[in-house]
C-alpha cells in the first residue's frame, strides 16, 4: 500500500509564491515507477495506491493529470487497486472508470450514495462497508443488504473491505477488561481493528455460503444493534426535551459586543494591552505522580486535593509576582483538556488501551461518546473558586469547547454529530452559569479543533460552520453582558472561515500567531474583526526563551492592524508541556515588553 503521487504532492506545503508543487509531478513519476518495480521484484501481485485527494475539490489541472499519471504507471507487472476514502468520488466516476488500473476502492460508509455511480464498473470493485474511522460494531444484516446485490452483479470482481485504513481505530477490544466489567452493554456495541477484520470474515462467509452459515453471529450482531437502538442509558428523554425546548434566540448574547465590552471594562478595570496566559501551566513530575497515585488508590481524595490546591496556589503566586493582569488556576488537576471533562459528563466512557495515532509518533486515547450527554454536577467551579480566593486579581475560568470535545472523541453514529455537539454545548452552559454565580466572570472556552471539523468539500462547509458556531454560542447561553467570554484557537489558518470565527461572538479571541510572524492578523484586520484579540507573542512549543526584541517586533506589528484598546498580550498556547524556569523567564519578558509599550501609548 502506497500513497499515490497526486495525493502525495497535494499534501505537500509550498514555500515561496513562485513555486507550484504541481510542477514536480513529472519528476515524481519515475520515482514511483522505481518503487512499483521494486515491489514487483519482491513478488507483489497487487499494489494498492491510495488517492484520497480525489474526495477533495481539486483544481481541474490536478484532476486531468490522473489520466496521464496512471497511464504512465500502467504495465508495471502487478495489478493496481486505486483506493479512495473519506468522501464521495462520484463526480469523477467517468474518469475513474477510464483509468488503466485493475480495481477501485470506494468508501461506502462515509458516502454510501456514491455506489450508484459505480454499479457498471467493469473491473474489481472494493466496497468499503465496515467503518475504519469509528469504533462501533456493524449491523451485519444491514451491510449484507448492500453487498448481496453487488455479489450478484460483480461476482468474483467484488471485494469487501473496511472503508479506509484501520489506523484510526484501536487494536483489540478484547483487552478492555475494565470496560467489559464496568459497562458490558457498551462493550457489546464496540468493534476495534481485530473485531472489524472478524466482521469482514463473517460477511465473506455469508456471501459465499449463505446467511444460514453464520446465522448465530448475524443474530448476535442484530441483537447488539437492537439493544443499542432502544437503550435508555443512551437515549435520555430529558436531554431531547431540553434541546427541543431551547428558545430560538438561545445562542444569541443579550446585547451586541460594543455594549457588552463597555460593561466588562467598567468592572475589569484592566490596563491597556492586558496580559494573560492561555490556561495551563507546567504539569510537573510531582503533579503527574500525585494523579497516578490517586488513580491507583494509593493517595486519598483529601490528600490529592490538598496536593492540587498547593499547585494552584503556586501558580497564582507566580503570576502575581510576574504582574500578569488576568490570571488562570493552571489546570493542575486536569490530565487532558478533553478527557477531564469526559470523565465528569454522563454519556462518555473511556478505554484503557484504545490508543490511535494522531501524527508521527504522537498517539491519543480518545473518549467514547456513547449516549446522551448530561452534566450531573459542577466540574471546574471549586478549583476556579479556590484560585480566586487566593488573589484580588481577575481569575479566568477554563473550559474546553463543545466542538473540540466532539472532534477529539469517538462519537456515537446513531444520531447526527451536530446533535451530539449541541448536547455537549448545553451541558457546558450549565457550567458557565455556575462559574458566573461563583464570581468567575471571565471564562475561556477553548476551541482549537473547530477547523478540523470542516468537511472535505467546500459546498458542505456552511452547514458545518452553522451548527458548530451555534454549539459554541449555546455553551455560554444565558450568561450576563458583563461576563467576558474568551476563546482560544491554535494551529489554524482562519482566512477562509473568518466570518464564522467572528460569528462565534466571543468577547476575546486568542490565537497562535508567533511562528507565522503575525501573518494571520492581516486577515483579521482586512476582515475588520470586530471583537478583542490576543495574538500569541511567543512560541510555547520550544524551551527557548524569547528575546525582548522579538516580542516587541510582534506586538508593534500587531498594533499596526489592531487598535491598542482591543489588543491583548499572551503566549501562543497553554504552558502545560514547558518547564518552570523557561516559563517564568518567557512570561517576564512578555510582561516587561508590554509595560514598555504601554508607556509609549499612554
Domain assignment present for residue 241? The answer is: no
Q: In DSSP terms, which residues pair with 363 in a beta bridge?
A: 357
**Phi, psi (deg, nearest 5) at residue 384:** -65, -40
- Check whether residue 323 and residue 193 sit in a common domain: no
Q: Angle of helix 237-244 relative to helix 417-437, nearest 10 degrees?
A: 80
Looking at the fold, whether 151 and 292 belong to one and the same domain comes out as no
Does residue 120 sit within a domain? yes
| Other C-beta atoms lying within 10 Å of the C-beta of residue 18 | 5
Scan for cell 469523477, then name that residue. Answer: 92
Domain hosting 358: range is: 258-601
Sign of the CA dihedral running 191, 197, 201, 206:
positive
**Beta pairing class for 368-374 and 410-411:** parallel
191 and 271 in a single domain? The answer is: no
Low-confidence ranges of the chain (pLDDT < 50): none
Q: How many domains does the chain have?
A: 2
Domain assignment present for 239: no
Q: Are 252 and 548 in contact (CB under 8 A)?
A: no
* Judgement on whether residues 140 and 29 belong to the same structural domain of the protein: yes
* Residues 437 and 577 both lie in one domain: yes
169-188: pLDDT as tens digits? 999 999 999 999 999 999 99
Residue 237 resides in a domain: no
Task: Please indicate, yes or no, whether residues 416 and 485 belong to a single structural domain of this protein.
Answer: yes
Query: Could you tell me if 219 and 354 lie in one domain?
Result: no
DSSP label at residue 116: G
Q: Is 541 one of the annotated active-site residues of the chain? A: yes
Q: Cα dist. 337→204, 399, 489, 526, 576 in Å?
A: 42, 8, 13, 32, 11
pLDDT, tens digit, 9 for 90 and up, residues 273-328: 999 999 999 999 999 999 999 999 999 999 999 999 999 999 999 999 999 999 99
Pairwise CA distance, residues 573 & 189, whole Å: 37
Same domain, 267 and 226: no
One domain, residues 164 and 300: no
**Is 242 part of a structural domain of the chain?**
no
Residue 594: what pLDDT?
98
In three-state secondary structure terms, 125 is strand
CA distances from 348 to 242, 308, 327, 375 (A): 19, 24, 30, 11
Judgement on whether residues 203 and 304 belong to the same structural domain of the protein: no
In this structure, the answer to whether residues 498 and 349 fall within a common structural domain is yes
Given 168, 488, 541, 553, which residue is catalytic?
A: 541
Establish if 253 belongs to a structural domain: no
Please state, in angstroms and rounded to a whole number, the distance separating the CA atoms of residues 150 and 159. Answer: 10
Residue in the block written with cell 443499542: 228
Whether 526 maps to a domain, the answer reads yes
CATH (domain of 430): 3.20.20.210
489 in any annotated domain: yes
On whether both 510 and 431 belong to a single domain, the answer is yes
Q: Do residues 275 and 590 make contact, with C-beta atoms less than 8 angstroms apart?
A: yes
CA distance to 134, 168, 216, 299, 466, per residue, from 410 (Å): 6, 10, 28, 31, 22
Amino acid at each position: 500500500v502506497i500513497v499515490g503521487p497526486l495525493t502525495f504532492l497535494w499534501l505537500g506545503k509550498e514555500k515561496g509564491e513562485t513555486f507550484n508543487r504541481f510542477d514536480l509531478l513529472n519528476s515524481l513519476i519515475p520515482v514511483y515507477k522505481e518503487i512499483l518495480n521494486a515491489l514487483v521484484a519482491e513478488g507483489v501481485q497487487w499494489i494498492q495506491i491510495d488517492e484520497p485527494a480525489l474526495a477533495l475539490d481539486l483544481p481541474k489541472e490536478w484532476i486531468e493529470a490522473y489520466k496521464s499519471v496512471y497511464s504512465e504507471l500502467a504495465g508495471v507487472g502487478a495489478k493496481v487497486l486505486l483506493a479512495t476514502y473519506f468522501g464521495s468520488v462520484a463526480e469523477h466516476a467517468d474518469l475513474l472508470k477510464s483509468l488503466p488500473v485493475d480495481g477501485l476502492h470506494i468508501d461506502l460508509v462515509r458516502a454510501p450514495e456514491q455506489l450508484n455511480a459505480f454499479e457498471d464498473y467493469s473491473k474489481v470493485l472494493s466496497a468499503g462497508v465496515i467503518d475504519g474511522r469509528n469504533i462501533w460494531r456493524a449491523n451485519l444484516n444491514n451491510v449484507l443488504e448492500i453487498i448481496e446485490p453487488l455479489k450478484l452483479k460483480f461476482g468474483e470482481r467484488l471485494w469487501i473491505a473496511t472503508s479506509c485504513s484501520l489506523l484510526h481505530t484501536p487494536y483489540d477490544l478484547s483487552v478492555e477488561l475494565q470496560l467489559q466489567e464496568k459497562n458490558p452493554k457498551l462493550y457489546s456495541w464496540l468493534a476495534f481493528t481485530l473485531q472489524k477484520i472478524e466482521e469482514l470474515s463473517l460477511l465473506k462467509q455469508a456471501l459465499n455460503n449463505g446467511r444460514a452459515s453464520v446465522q448465530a453471529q448475524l443474530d448476535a450482531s442484530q441483537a447488539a444493534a437492537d439493544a443499542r437502538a432502544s437503550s435508555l442509558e443512551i437515549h435520555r428523554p430529558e436531554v431531547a426535551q431540553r434541546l427541543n425546548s431551547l428558545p430560538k434566540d438561545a445562542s444569541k448574547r443579550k446585547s451586541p459586543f460594543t455594549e457588552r465590552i463597555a460593561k466588562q471594562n467598567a468592572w475589569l478595570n484592566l490596563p491597556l494591552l492586558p496580559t494573560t496566559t492561555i490556561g495551563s501551566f507546567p504539569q510537573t513530575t510531582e503533579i503527574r505522580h500525585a494523579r497516578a497515585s490517586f488513580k491507583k488508590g494509593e493517595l486519598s481524595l483529601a490528600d490529592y486535593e490538598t496536593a492540587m490546591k498547593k499547585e494552584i496556589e503556586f501558580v497564582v503566586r507566580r503570576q502575581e509576582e510576574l504582574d500578569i493582569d488576568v490570571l488562570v488556576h493552571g489546570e493542575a488537576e486536569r490530565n487532558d483538556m478533553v478527557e477531564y471533562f469526559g470523565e465528569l459528563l454522563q454519556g462518555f466512557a473511556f478505554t484503557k488501551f484504545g490508543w490511535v495515532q494522531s501524527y508521527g509518533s504522537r498517539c491519543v486515547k480518545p473518549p467514547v461518546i456513547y449516549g446522551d450527554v448530561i452534566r450531573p454536577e459542577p466540574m471546574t467551579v471549586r478549583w476556579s473558586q479556590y484560585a480566586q480566593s487566593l488573589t484580588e486579581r481577575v481569575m479566568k475560568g477554563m473550559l474546553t469547547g463543545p466542538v473540540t470535545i466532539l472532534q477529539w472523541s469517538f462519537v456515537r453514529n446513531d444520531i447526527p454529530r451536530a446533535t451530539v455537539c449541541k448536547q455537549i454545548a448545553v451541558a457546558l452552559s450549565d457550567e458557565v452559569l455556575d462559574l458566573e454565580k461563583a464570581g468567575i466572570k471571565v471564562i475561556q472556552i477553548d476551541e482549537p479543533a473547530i477547523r478540523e471539523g470542516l468537511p472535505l468539500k467546500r459546498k458542505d462547509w456552511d452547514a458545518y460552520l452553522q451548527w458548530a458556531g451555534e454549539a459554541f454560542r449555546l455553551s455560554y447561553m444565558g450568561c450576563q453582558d458583563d461576563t467576558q467570554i474568551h476563546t482560544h484557537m491554535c494551529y489554524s489558518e482562519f482566512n477562509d472561515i473568518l466570518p464564522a470565527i467572528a460569528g462565534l461572538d466571543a468577547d476575546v479571541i486568542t490565537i497562535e500567531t508567533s511562528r507565522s510572524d503575525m501573518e494571520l492578523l492581516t486577515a483579521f484586520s482586512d476582515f475588520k474583526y470586530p471583537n478583542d484579540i490576543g495574538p500569541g507573542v511567543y512560541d510555547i512549543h520550544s524551551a527557548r526563551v524569547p528575546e525582548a526584541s522579538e516580542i516587541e517586533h510582534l506586538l508593534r506589528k500587531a498594533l499596526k492592524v489592531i487598535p491598542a484598546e482591543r489588543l491583548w498580550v499572551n503566549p501562543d498556547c497553554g504552558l502545560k508541556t514547558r518547564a518552570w524556569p523557561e516559563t517564568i523567564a518567557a512570561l517576564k519578558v512578555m510582561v516587561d515588553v508590554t509595560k514598555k509599550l504601554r508607556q509609549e501609548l499612554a
